[in-house]
């Protein structure tokens, strides 16, 4: 019997969530549910208007429609599981469901990083080379750009998830998180995870570092071009075409930097508070950015505002 227990395959994990803070669970259940409904409504409306309104049939809004669909997929891969964990003290999730959720979250996150870079290139061409915009950003270019973003994100997720699935797991198999977050899962492995860590570092450089650098360089050229525009009205009009994207980029990468860049507490007595803070930061990162994206594009973009009004009044 002992031998069987040691060699039996993993049949599931337990998601700890906020079970150590039961008084917070009902509050966060309502809060996260409301935010999820806003995400579905806001991004759903953006997808509808980009399809329905012919004025929005441009590369920029095609990318925006992809971003909205991606945000819906990303939150749907994790939020229902999170909400369920608030209602169940010890939420058990099967091995296949855990890695399925990990795969979807990983794929959507990596795809969004690449897609934001593609959207920066679109704004660079529109502002720095406006006369060549229709020639450079035609359907034969921007559709493969979006498809390539999805393919890159999915490929990365296949690599990371498949490596994690091959690891042996032992102990009580309790994941100290709301979802099957890969770092929390890797802590349960009873084998060397150095290759997994190296693979993730390489992926972070490719899917975080490269897009950030690309976006930064694009906006250096964009800002330089805007500053050379003689009239104040012309500068304002040019900046308005990229301000929504820039705001989304700052929110997206700023939240990631806050999550992983803040110092860890060295006080043993503060570990519980640190653990709770890390969980809540991760939780809100998964819902705040997708919720803000449609709000930012609706408030800072006249074309989207007009398209939403037309859709409502029909």
**Biggest CA-to-CA distance, the chain:** 81
CA distances from 61 to 64, 296, 298, 309 (A): 5, 14, 12, 17
Query: Tell me, what's the pLDDT at 89?
Result: 67
Which one is predicted more confidently, 21 or 50?
50
pLDDT exceeds 70 at position 184: yes
Least confident of 3-7, 210-214, 229-233: 3-7
Query: Which SS3 state, helix, strand or coil, does residue 230 take?
Result: coil
**DSSP letter string, 78-133:** THHHHHHHHH-SSEEEEHHHHHHHHHHHHHHHHHHHHHHHHHHHHHHHHHHSGGGH
Mean pLDDT of the region 132-141: 92
Question: Is residue 9's pLDDT more than 60?
Answer: no
pLDDT band at 8 (very low <50, low <70, confident <90, very high): very low
The position carrying tokens 């935010």 is: 35
Band the pLDDT of 176: cuts 50, 70, 90.
confident
- pLDDT tops 80 at residue 115: yes
Segment among 70-74, 156-160, 239-243 with least mean pLDDT:
239-243
Of 26-40, 105-119, 170-184, least confident by mean pLDDT is: 170-184
Collapsed DSSP state (helix, strand, coil) of residue 189? strand
Question: Whats the size of the chain, residue-wise?
Answer: 314
Arithmetic mean of pLDDT, 62-67? 94
* Banded model confidence at residue 17, pLDDT cuts 50, 70, 90: confident
For position 300, what pLDDT does the model report?
66
DSSP-derived letter for residue 205 is: I
| Residues 305, 127, 214, 48, Cα dihedral to 10° | 20
pLDDT of 308 reads 73
**pLDDT tens by residue, 263-290:** 555 444 445 555 667 777 777 778 888 9
d(CA 297, CA 276): 32
Residue of higher predicted confidence among 244 and 198: 198
Here the tokens at position 290 are 């997708």
Using pLDDT thresholds of 50, 70 and 90, give the confidence band for residue 262: low
Higher pLDDT, 123 or 12: 123
> What confidence score (pLDDT) does residue 314 get?
65
């Amino acid at each position: 019997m002992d031998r069987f227990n040691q060699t039996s395959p993993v049949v599931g994990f337990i998601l700890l969530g906020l079970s150590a803070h039961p008084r917070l669970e009902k509050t966060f259940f309502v809060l996260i549910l409301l935010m999820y409904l806003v995400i579905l409504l806001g991004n759903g409306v953006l997808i509808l208007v980009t399809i329905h309104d012919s004025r929005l049939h441009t590369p920029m809004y095609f990318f925006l429609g992809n971003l909205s669909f991606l945000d819906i997929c990303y939150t749907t891969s994790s939020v229902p599981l999170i909400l369920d964990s608030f209602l169940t003290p010890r939420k058990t999730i099967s091995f296949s469901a855990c890695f399925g959720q990990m795969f979807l979250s990983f794929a959507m996150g990596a795809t969004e990083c690449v897609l934001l870079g593609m959207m920066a290139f679109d704004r660079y061409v529109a502002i720095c080379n406006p006369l060549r915009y229709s020639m450079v950003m035609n359907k034969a270019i921007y559709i493969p750009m979006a498809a390539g973003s999805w393919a890159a994100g999915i490929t990365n997720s296949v690599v990371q998830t498949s490596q994690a699935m091959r690891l042996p797991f032992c102990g009580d198999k309790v994941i100290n998180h709301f979802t099957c977050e890969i770092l929390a899962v890797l802590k349960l492995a009873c084998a060397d995870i150095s290759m997994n860590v190296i693979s993730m570092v390489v992926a972070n450089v490719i899917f975080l570092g490269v897009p950030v650098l690309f976006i930064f360089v694009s906006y250096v050229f964009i800002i330089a071009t805007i500053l050379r525009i003689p009239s104040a009205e012309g500068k304002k009009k040019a900046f308005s075409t990229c301000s929504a994207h820039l705001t989304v980029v700052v929110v997206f990468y700023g939240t990631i930097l806050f999550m992983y860049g803040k110092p860890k507490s060295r006080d043993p007595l503060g570990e519980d508070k640190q653990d709770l803070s890390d969980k809540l930061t991760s939780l809100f990162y998964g819902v705040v950015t997708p919720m803000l994206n449609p709000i930012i594009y609706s408030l800072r973009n006249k074309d989207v505002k007009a398209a939403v009004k037309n859709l409502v009044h029909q």
